[in-house]
Chains A and B, each alone.
Chain A
Amino acid sequence: QKEVEQDPGPLSVPEGAIVSLNCTYSNSAFQYFMWYRQYSRKGPELLMYTYSSGNKEDGRFTAQVDKSSKYISLFIRDSQPSDSATYLCALYSSASKIIFGSGTRLSIRP
């Protein structure tokens, strides 16, 4: 079983829709939970991070962590064409360092 599982997509939604991106993980030792955004031919950039169960909001983005279910989500409200990118979940523990999911390709249709 992989440490982190992420649906690769691709996911295509119309502009303005709410997008839900998800990852599941198997190791309960993970302490930090991050979402990176990667545009084509660019390096990933940190979008959001959290270290506790619950929700964290930043503008149109909400990160959600459920440690009991080992499930993390990223919600994008009022999606824009500029949100079209690959979204990578990343999990950190002091033992295993940072493990990335395989990424979900997202396309927002104008």
Chain B
Amino acid sequence: EAGVAQSPRYKIIEKRQSVAFWCNPISGHATLYWYQQILGQGPKLLIQFQNNGVVDDSQLPKDRFSAERLKGVDSTLKIQPAKLEDSAVYLCASSWTGGAGDNSPLHFGNGTRLTVT
């Protein structure tokens, strides 16, 4: 099966600019996640979708970050305006359901590496 696709792979922007990331999950996966991984840290959940509804966005900085999942498939994550501390890898993941473990493992894309200067 094809994996989780993300684009772009790299992005360099200046602070206060806007940026958007795109994710195409594995076909048939109902749950889609966006994680932020700062260098030297583990992934931190930003937002979780179940189909096209938001399940958890408690750690999403809503004053500058937004995400949507149209038609329950592809998703975009936007940052506007970007800050220096947003420099990180943004990982998209998908799973069959919102659980965990072997019955519904997370499948990650390779991420978008964002540098804010």
Q: Which residues of A contact B (CB under 8 A)?
A: 4, 6, 8, 32, 34, 41-46, 49, 51, 88, 90, 92, 97-98, 100-103
Q: A24 to nearest B CB, angstroms? A: 14
B41 touches A34 (CB 8 A): no
Given contacts A43-B91, A43-B109, contact A102 B102 (CB under 8 A): no
Interface of B is mostly: loop
B32 at the interface (CB under 8 A from A): no
Chain B count of residues within 8 A CB distance of the other chain: 23
B42 touches A103 (CB 8 A): yes
B42 touches A101 (CB 8 A): yes
Q: A1 to nearest B CB, angstroms? A: 16
Per the 8 Å Cβ criterion, residues 17-76 of B in contact with A are 40-45, 48, 56
List the 6 closest A-B pairs by CB distance, nearest first.
A43-B108, A100-B42, A92-B100, A46-B105, A49-B101, A32-B101
Minimal Cβ-Cβ distance residue in A for B100? A92
Most interface-central of B4, B40, B43, B93 (chain A CB within 10 A): B43
Residues of A close to B43: CB separation below 8 A? 44, 88, 100
Minimal Cβ-Cβ distance residue in B for A50? B101
